Structure 1
Amino acid sequence: FTLETTLKHELCHLLLHHHIADSRLPRWLDEGVCQWASGGISELMATHGSNALTKAVVDKTVMRMRDLETFPRDEESIVLAYEESKNLIEYIAGEYGQQSIVRMLNYLREGYTVDDSVQKSLSISLAELERTWHGYLKGKYSWFSYLSNNLYPILFLAGALLTILGFIRFLKKKREYVDEEEGDGL
């Protein structure tokens, strides 16, 4: 992450909180929009890599949107919450257009609830948005993508196991050879 990205991210927070009451702005929307608008990832994700979402989809542990209203306290869950928030906003922008996010924020500024803002902006309910987004995640992130993201550790582990098995086989053959030599010497 760079200073420029961080400044854009934090300025975005200031703008959002200046125009929308904190009680109306869920954390997933706040963080997701700020990451999306700044074109970068949060400092937390930059230091931990960005594999948490793929792992959560594969493990079927994706957080629900209501769990993202406020972020969890443990570090692993926070990283996942940031990734999910950014991905959800990217999904909305990709499926419904960037203007839909602006409309959603405008409705929140006018005092509408999150549910009503989503309904008016996207013409679907918040529950339907969550359902379609989870479907999108399942299609995008699979075992294949998880394995490809972890290719080097998997190859390293496989190489280590093969080396150990080869060494065991070598010791076994050596013992058999020594036993044969001792048997021939009698």
Structure 2
Amino acid sequence: MPMKRTAIPLCSILIFCVQFVFFGQIKAQVLESLKTKELIVLYPSEMEGAAREIASMFPQVKQQVENFFGWSLINRPTVLVARRARTGIRDVKEDLVVGYAVPKRHLIVIYYSKTKANPKNLMVTLKHELCHLIVQEHVAGVSIPRWFDEGISQVLSGVAGEVLVGREPNVSVLSRQVGGYISFRFLRETFPSERRRLLLAYAQSREFIRYLIDEFGKDAILRILNGMKSGIPAEEAIRQATGLTLQELEVKWRRRLEKGDTWLARLSYYLIRFRTSMTQKVQDIDDPTHDTHNLIPSRRYFVKGGIRWNKLLEKQPLNAI
């Protein structure tokens, strides 16, 4: 693969890269440019190895993404390799952020140091962000729901894109942690900023797209995409492809989750929470500066509490949509 390497000042046409990466904290520096027929990689001089790694894997990633959608990437993207995240996103730990896409600029930003823990991380992150670019290129006339865009990108790449977690979060466990599922009507434009709700939004999006594929096949997803590409609003495209409204689909999906979320799984979750709470209370007792009054419940109360847990677990309803 022919590669052309040049040094360019971070100004004029490239200043938008800095604005997106540092959110207004513009610093004078020089980026190297690695150009191929299919992409441009911008990187600090000390990260040339990362740039070459991205350039070498890009043709394979591009082919996989194009094969899934049946579309070709229209524009040559730019991948900016950044040192570390400075997001300015409140309530989200910076160590979760590994990259993001800016479709209007045909730009992908990757924080390379965040992907080094696992050799697969860089490829799947690149694939995830490339999914965003190709979808936004071809569906330009209507608004794509955020949950739909993120769900497809996760199913194809296997990661949550902007956040990289060690293992796939369980959507039922996450929903209990935050007090219930988030209706997809609240995930059309943006995702929550609070960490656990953000992870739940990603997990819901992923699992709902998997549900649509399981129930209606991959072709249904492609029909939805092509419907939106032709100018049909997202929810109408979903109805035409599945025969059901988004609200009806969401109810059926939640019922399937509830059916799979067994009584034993719920009990295990609450036992773990109880054990964690008790461990913390024991630690508080060991602390001579801490007031230990009424920290440990009696054995009798614990047994009765178990009966109350049973009733609680049996009566958990689906959240209203």
* Common fold by TM > 0.5: yes
Letter in 2 for 1:77: R
Q: What are the ranges of 5 or more consecutive residues in structure 1 without an aligned counterpart?
A: 165-186
Q: Distance in 2 between matches of 1:125 and 1:44?
A: 30
Q: Deviations over 1:11-62 (max 9, x none)?
A: 1111111111385200000000000011334452515861454241587610
Quick check: 1:80 aligned with 2:200? Answer: yes
Distance change in 2, residues 1:79/1:115 (3 Å): same
1:127 offset after TM fit, Å?
A: 1.4
1:97 offset after TM fit, Å?
A: 0.8
Letter in 2 for 1:64: S
Partner of 2:121 in structure 1? 2
Distance change in 2, residues 1:18/1:150 (3 Å): farther
When you count helix as a share of all residues, which structure comes out higher? 1
Distance change in 2, residues 1:148/1:44 (3 Å): farther
Partner of 2:239 in structure 1? 119
Distance change in 2, residues 1:60/1:122 (3 Å): farther
Q: Distance in 2 between matches of 1:149 and 1:60?
A: 13
Letter in 2 for 1:104: I
TM-score calculated relative to the size of structure 1: 0.73
Partner of 2:131 in structure 1? 12
Task: Give yes or no for contact 1:32–1:86 (8 Å, CA) kept in 2.
Answer: yes
The size of the alignment, in residue pairs, is 164
Quick check: 1:67 aligned with 2:67? Answer: no
Q: What are the ranges of 5 or more consecutive residues in structure 2 without an aligned counterpart?
A: 1-119, 286-321
Larger RCO (CA within 8 A; separation ≥ 6): 1
Task: Give yes or no for contact 2:142–2:234 (8 Å, CA) kept in 1.
Answer: no
- What aligned pairs does 1:13-32 form with structure 2 within 5 A after superposition? 13-21=132-140, 23-32=142-151
What is the root-mean-square deviation of aligned Cα atoms in Å? 3.1
Partner of 2:252 in structure 1? 132
- Aligned identity (percent) is 32
Q: Distance in 2 between matches of 1:72 and 1:78?
A: 5
1:151 offset after TM fit, Å?
A: 7.2
